[in-house]
Amino acid sequence: MSDSSDSNLRRRKGRAPGACETEDDFFHYLDTFFDREHPSLELGRGDDCAVLNLPGKSCFTTDLFLEDVHFRTRYFTPGEIGHKGLAVNLSDLAGMGVKPTGFLLNLIVPGDDRLDAAFWDEFFAAMAKLANDAGAVLAGGDLSAGPNLGMAITAWGVPEQGSAILTRGPVSPGDIIFTVGEYGLARTGLMCMEAEGRDAEADFPAAVAAHCTPQPKLAAGLVLGRIAGESGGVTGLMDLSDGIARDLPRLLGFEHGAALDIPSDSLHEEIRRHAQETGEDPVEFAVVGGEDYALLGAASPSTITRLEQEVEGLRPIGEVVPGKGLTVNGKHFTRTGFDHFGR
């Protein structure tokens, strides 16, 4: 944080918010939209570093969110960009079963004039709403010019009292694999908008929303962390960001595979309709998925019933089997997963 600091001084100057071009503009927006205080924050924005007080274990994640790699200004609204840039980080915290407490924002602003005050108002308001709803304080950041709009956010969180931090394993054969939230729906939205832009929303509103405003599964993560802390049985959890085909092997580790049972009618209607229009297999499309920002986990057979009762949206989709490899509805699945814009 080679930042500036004196927000009151800048306010005294009466500079109207406009394009986000200087560090003064940047910190003006932060001070307008984001709280400065949090119980875990000893010293917030305006010094070389933020000073945190995080007794015990804490979880940290960082993600890039770049124009024309992770989003398009062509069909994302400013608010959706601000929301999703933070949401992808909070989703990693959900994948550990912990509660967000803070984040740092690096913002890259294109040098041209296409992003005006109205853009930044919407952008920061949406990011701040998500942050405040999640309980995460903006502790600092950095601003730079760059060729395209971009963000690099670092977010952190802590387990609730008595809760476990949930890692990607180890899982065992016989464990039940589950998801929380839709998979394949965000990719449906991406494909529709890459083809039709925002007009896709008329026919695929849920898919567009899944792609543009993913809702990190923080509440579900916390319930899973609490149950695991109380009685164990949750053998792995991660956030489903690159699609089941790519992320599930990361949950399973070297030694295990999975047999998934995914009836086509368990998928969202918009996925099935889109697959029908394009001639794709809807289940295969959904398993490739990508950017679902759902949760993917595993639990012992004796635990899964409790999870189904207590975690909203949790669905068993198969089980861990000995030996590597993935079958879906009895057939070997060999397609690799999602990579943003084909990278």
**Judged by CB, which is closer to its own copies: 3, or 308?**
3
**Judged by CB, which is closer to its own copies: 64, or 117?**
64
Does residue 273 have a known ligand-binding role?
A: no
**Judged by CB, which is closer to its own copies: 184, or 290?**
290
Does residue 113 have a known ligand-binding role?
A: no
Q: How far apart are CA 252 and CA 258, in angstroms?
A: 8
| Least separation in angstroms between CB 5 and its own copies | 5
| Least separation in angstroms between CB 326 and its own copies | 15
| Least separation in angstroms between CB 339 and its own copies | 8
Does residue 265 have a known ligand-binding role?
A: no
Q: How far apart are CA 271 and CA 310, in angstroms?
A: 27
In the DSSP assignment, the letter for residue 160 is P
Does residue 239 have a known ligand-binding role?
A: yes
| Least separation in angstroms between CB 47 and its own copies | 5
**Judged by CB, which is closer to its own copies: 52, or 209?**
52
Does residue 48 have a known ligand-binding role?
A: yes
Task: Name the burial class of residue 161, with classes exposed (0-12), middle (13-18) and buried (19+) by CB atoms within 10 angstroms of its CB.
Answer: exposed
Helix (H, G, I), strand (E, B) or coil at 304: helix
User: Which residues are paired to 93 by β-bridges?
Assistant: none
How far apart, in Å, are the Cα atoms of 299 and each of 175, 178, 233, 250, 316? 5, 8, 5, 15, 9
Q: How far apart are CA 225 and CA 219, in angstroms?
A: 10
Residues of the binding site for ATP: 141-142, 168, 241
Residues of the binding site for substrate: 70, 291, 338
